[in-house]
Amino acid sequence: MEIRLRILLLTLLLGLSGSLSGCATLRHLFGHDTPPPPGAEAGASTDRTTEDDSTPPRVIQPEVERRKVKVPRIKSQDIEVGGYLGTLNVEDFGAHRVFGVQVAYHVTEDFFLQAEAGRSKAGRTSFETLSDISLLTDNERWFKYYDMSVGYNFLPGEVFIGRNHAMTSSFYILAGVGATDFGGDSKFTGNFGAGLKVLPTDWLAVHVAVEDRVFNSDLLGVNKLASNLEAHMGLTFFF
């Protein structure tokens, strides 16, 4: 009796599984999901095309509208503007405070064009101090310059403050030309230098730079190449 009941239940189960094999989940369950051979697929598709040819054009046109995406203008930050403060050693006239402004345009990640303008007030030469004779008027002691330079970023890296803060940094070298107004005369000036730039955020940079400004000077009677070394710290913002 019990065996008969079991056979009956098993037959019912088999019958059910056979009739439900169309159901995707059950097909998957019973391993019926093997793909049909490629020939069969091709045959099926050709059947479909012949069927499409014979059928009249569809009455309902699919109205699928393409999603329109409006791309907002991506803000660029290629321009860097800032100021600096440091020390300028005016040859023969001592080292004094210098301040200036700088603007840079970053053309690529490597190259940038930079313009600087600064001023410093030179002191007295040793001769003036000892003899009490003034070679220049007070106004002529203003050392005013501007330059246009090409810069190159290299040695990119990171600097770390403590355990949790890292800031990107980069060294750069630059060279350019400009003019210097000093001692009642304007001089064509060449400048070259190097600096370190640290970025606490993407829009702010702290610069430490050393530059030399070289021009032909005949201020003290003989024509010579005057070398004016400048070291400064600056703060710039990216726009």
Q: Considering only 12-20, 47-55, 64-72, 90-98, which stretch makes contact with another protein by CB under 8 A?
A: 64-72
Q: How many CB atoms lie within 10 A of CB 121?
A: 16
* CB nearer to another protein: pick between 8 and 81: 81
Q: How many residues bind another protein (CB under 8 A)?
A: 38
What's the rounded Cα separation, in Å, for the pair 214 and 221? Answer: 18
Q: Of 74, 73, 85, 102, whose CA–CA distance to 237 is shortest? A: 102
* CB nearer to another protein: pick between 108 and 164: 108
Site for another protein in 189-228 (CB under 8 A): 199, 202
Q: Of 235, 113, 216, whose CA–CA distance to 174 is shortest? A: 113
* CB nearer to another protein: pick between 3 and 74: 74
Q: List, as one string, the DSSP characters of 101-123.
A: EEEEEESSSSEEEEEEEEEEE--
* CB nearer to another protein: pick between 9 and 159: 159
Q: List, as one string, the DSSP characters of 216-233.
A: EE-TTSS-EEEEEEEEEE
Site for another protein in 71-130 (CB under 8 A): 71, 74-78, 106-109, 111, 113
Q: How many CB atoms lie within 10 A of CB 80?
A: 21
* CB nearer to another protein: pick between 60 and 71: 71
Q: Which residue has the tokens 């005949």?
A: 218
Rounded to a whole number of angstroms, the minimum distance from the CB of residue 18 to another protein is: 40
Per the structure block, which two tokens stand in for 137?
Answer: 């008027």
Site for another protein in 145-184 (CB under 8 A): 148, 150, 153, 155-158, 166, 168, 170, 176-179, 184
Residues near another protein (CB under 8 A): 66-69, 71, 74-78, 106-109, 111, 113, 148, 150, 153, 155-158, 166, 168, 170, 176-179, 184-188, 199, 202, 238
